[in-house]
Amino acid sequence: MIEELGPLAREIAPAKLNLALHVRGKRADGRHDIETVFAFCTDGDHLSAEPAHDISLGLVGPFASDLDAGDDNLVLTAAMALASAASVAEGAALTLDKRLPVASGIGGGSADAAAALRLLTSLWRIDPKHALAVAPTLGSDVPACLLSLPALGNGAGDELALLPASDLSGTPVLLVNPRVQLSTAAVFAAWDGVDRGSLNHWRDGGRNDLYPAARTLVPEIGNVMKWLDSQPSAEFVRMSGSGATCFALFDGEEARDAAAIAVPREWWHLATFLR
């Protein structure tokens, strides 16, 4: 996914989808035990970097104004942590083209941090083992986003087993968000605490246990789901992560594109494919 153009290198931070997300209980560390199936899109945020004396971050793109480029930005946190872990004395001038909505359940911050780890591993020519070690310290979704491949996630979502990509790769998918930011912590806090059982297969009995809580906090999510369900040839409709982004898998690109054209103007959408 890395494109080198002279001193400039670029990396895509693919949008993350949860094809299923079962919440099994709360852990002693405050996180939750989950079972989830991760899938990733061919599109997402774009991150670029070029050599520099210090580590810095600039923000561009349609959702740049929703982020802060300060030290609490997860891209900068990832870069600093990787430099420390690998004892790198170099810097990097990073630019994040923020194309995905913030706090939307599609892994934005985690995917961006993972892209930074991949990009800087290449730019600094360091052993990938450092990125693998740093990723879990940045967030539960970052290890999955670092791989950006279909995977079954257990534990807090950071215990991964890769799934056959051939089962999903190339599937047309439409992402729709009502342009409402939704806090992951708030959604988990509103979860009813009921363990509804283990995950067998994401298509057969799979569900998103956070959907009722998210819909209570942002009722518009229910409208998005209902709209996606009504689209011809939409084979599979779910909310991703803690919301508010929902998605539908389609049996063909033409049907997906027809649905994309019909998305209400007040909603954000992305017509893409699974990787």
* 16 among known catalytic residues: yes
Whole-angstrom distance, CA of residue 76 vs CA of residue 70: 8
Write out the two tokens for 222: 């229910």
Backbone torsions φ then ψ of 52, nearest 5 degrees: -160, 165
**Strands 55-60 vs 246-250: parallel, antiparallel or unpaired:** unpaired
Marked catalytic residue, from 16, 43, 112, 209 = 16
How far from 149 is each of 13, 132, 275, CA to CA, in Å?
A: 12, 15, 7
Distances (CA, A) of 43 to 40, 52, 143: 9, 27, 19
Stated as kind and residue range, the H or E segment containing 97 is: strand 91-97
Distance between CA atoms of 72 and 170, rounded to whole angstroms?
Answer: 35
DSSP state of 101: P
Catalytic site residue from 43, 141, 192, 195: 141
Angle between helical axes of 129-138 and 74-85 (0-180°, round to 10): 140
- Residues marked active site are found at 16, 141
